[in-house]
Structure 1
């Protein structure tokens, strides 16, 4: 890991390392919490509640940081697009994927987000792709295939359900990647970051609320304390706390080094999945996990251009 960004701070400095670990642990835990969120309430209503909380928290944080509530001229197309792709479609696919495959596996697959980011970045932002990135991504894809083979062998789900889970994961990755590229455009960069995120989250909550009314009927809510605490965790810790910490790392140690959280997060998620979901380890899944993460390390070290400055790394 390149812990020292040329001309910048080191990831191993105590404050930076603490922020890196906290972000990785929080995002690693979101996947398991999502699993509980969809146990009794429709995914769309759960996502709506999450981003109502997240938007409120982000507006409060923006005020504390001195950012304006009002956006600049021409901001609303970016707000609406980010609300749709990042905070509605992306999370809609992810929540539904966890109904078919384990949360840890979804987290591992989502580490492949850097692949469509790189492809779309080359097409729309002119960012070149190096050979090492292609090789590393191919290695990671082999590892993911091994994990899915184990999921099919060990899970009571049918092959069709496992493949549906995979397809939903891919839908989430592609939606998030479109949002990442949108956030990297000059029009989005001109907007105050926290304010842009707050309004986009609020629009995402509205989009999800409308979709939930159309698809699932009247609002649903699980009376269990665990459900409400999960909403607060995902909305506040999983969004409001982590985004400023992550972007702070991007500024201090560089986007490439900060992006290594996408390797650590699946490790945390797989450990939690083992403890709470009964994920069964063996030679095949162990090898698949190692190959996937090793491939992602190779891919990120071979990426010649940094990821979009405002890319949203994890659900």
Structure 2
């Protein structure tokens, strides 16, 4: 059962990046995000009310849910939706997989959690991987400004997601129900995107095409409701650390989809860069003692 849940998370969240790509069009990014999380929040609220699992929160906790909605279900996706106009959805997912490094740094910054000795080697591998992955384009005679924009927006969105994780960690430490706080946060995220859309003068007119409507339903129902539901079920069954390994495989699924549907072009640098980033994440998740074991096993100069 755990294997099926694990596979479901990888396939669902590994393919949501292409669904975000399909959202590109006449509808403003803020409006698309609003519709996505409005639908997801309504569905989640209905399920919790029917099952009697919705938990009341204090005003202070609602304020933190607003901050969580801003970070996880609003502006980070706002960055990713705009980044999809400059780089492929597969490359976005690769950058997003480095959220574990941001989580480690933010955990130390906000909760004074001890930094793992694996952070430095993992960060070096991750940074080297990103540079190598994009080297073919970065080394071009005429560097496209859009490439740097896409990378920057993806990194900013990933950091926003990490900040949202810190708020979720705060909820857990306060003994709050994670599903309820996520539901409230989705609703607040949708409200924030509605406000941004109004301030921008964006039209709320729906794009009645199969690609847009299909991707919207997929992102709301599968990517948000089922994806988060299955993931947190998996966390409860095997633990957060083991469940987090699924982020190592998201880019593999996303880049495979991008290759077939976005004509993503592979280069030797792409393969090496992807391998370095995945290795960096794997090192970050490894037990701290592996460095000591490696040093003991390494040959010493005679």
TM-score (norm 2): 0.90
Q: Please state if 1:31 is matched with 2:2.
A: no
CA 1:186 to 1:224, structure 2 compared with 1: closer, same or farther past 3 Å? Answer: closer
Give the equivalent residue in structure 2 for 1:45: 31
Taking the aligned partners of 1:62 and 1:90, their CA distance within structure 2 comes to 26
Partner residue, 1:291? 276
Equivalents in 2 of 1:253, 1:69: separation in Å?
24
Instruction: Give the superposed CA RMSD.
Output: 2.0
- Whether the aligned pair in 1 keeps the contact of 2:133 and 2:274 (CA below 8 Å) is yes
Residue in 1 aligned with 2:237? 252
Partner of 1:239: 224
Task: Find 2:45's aligned residue among 59, 62, 66.
Answer: 59
Larger Rg belongs to: 2
What SS is found at the alignment partner of 1:146? helix
Structure 1 residue 187 displacement after superposition: 7.3
Q: Distance in 2 between matches of 1:123 and 1:37?
A: 35
User: CA deviation digits over 1:93-146, x for unaligned, max 9?
Assistant: 111111111100000000011111101101221221222232022112211111
Map of 1:199 onto structure 2: 184
Q: How many Å apart are 1:248 and its aligned residue?
A: 1.6
Distance in 2 (alpha carbons) for counterparts of 1:190 and 1:30: 30
Question: Structure 1: which 5+ runs fail to align?
Answer: 1-14, 305-315
Partner of 2:108 in structure 1? 122
**CA shift in 2, pair 1:232/1:186, >3 Å:** closer
Going from structure 1 to structure 2, the CA distance change for 1:188 and 1:206 (only over 3 Å counts) comes to: farther
Q: What is the CA distance between 1:302 and its match in structure 2?
A: 4.4
| 8 A contact 2:27–2:203 mirrored in 1 | no
Distance 1:78 1:300 in 2: 28
Unaligned runs of 5+ in 2: 290-302
C-alpha distance in 2 between matches for 1:248 and 1:40: 36
| Alignment partner of 1:214 out of 175, 179, 199 | 199
Spell out, residue by residue over 1:212-238, the C-alpha distance to the aligned partner (whole angstroms, 9 max, x if none): 122143313211022111111101100
Question: Which sits farther off after the overlay, 177-186 or 19-28?
Answer: 177-186
The corresponding residue for 1:101 is 87
- 1:77-92 alignment runs, 5 A limit: 77-92=63-78
2 CA distance for matches of 1:192 and 1:72? 12
Counterpart for residue 4 of structure 2: 18
Deviation at 1:288, TM superposition (A): 1.0
CA contact (8 A) 2:125 2:276 kept: yes
Q: Determine the structure 1 residue equivalent to 2:298.
A: none
Secondary structure, aligned partner of 2:85: coil
TM-score normalized with structure 1 length: 0.86
1:160 to 145, 149, 153: 145
Partner residue in 2 for 1:150 = 136
Determine helix, strand or coil for the equivalent of 1:92.
helix
Question: 1:72 deviation in Å?
Answer: 3.8
Q: 1:153 to 1:60 in 2, by over 3 A?
A: farther
Give the Cα–Cα distance (whole angstroms) in 1 for the partners of residues 189 and 136 of structure 2: 35
1:202 aligns to what SS in structure 2? helix
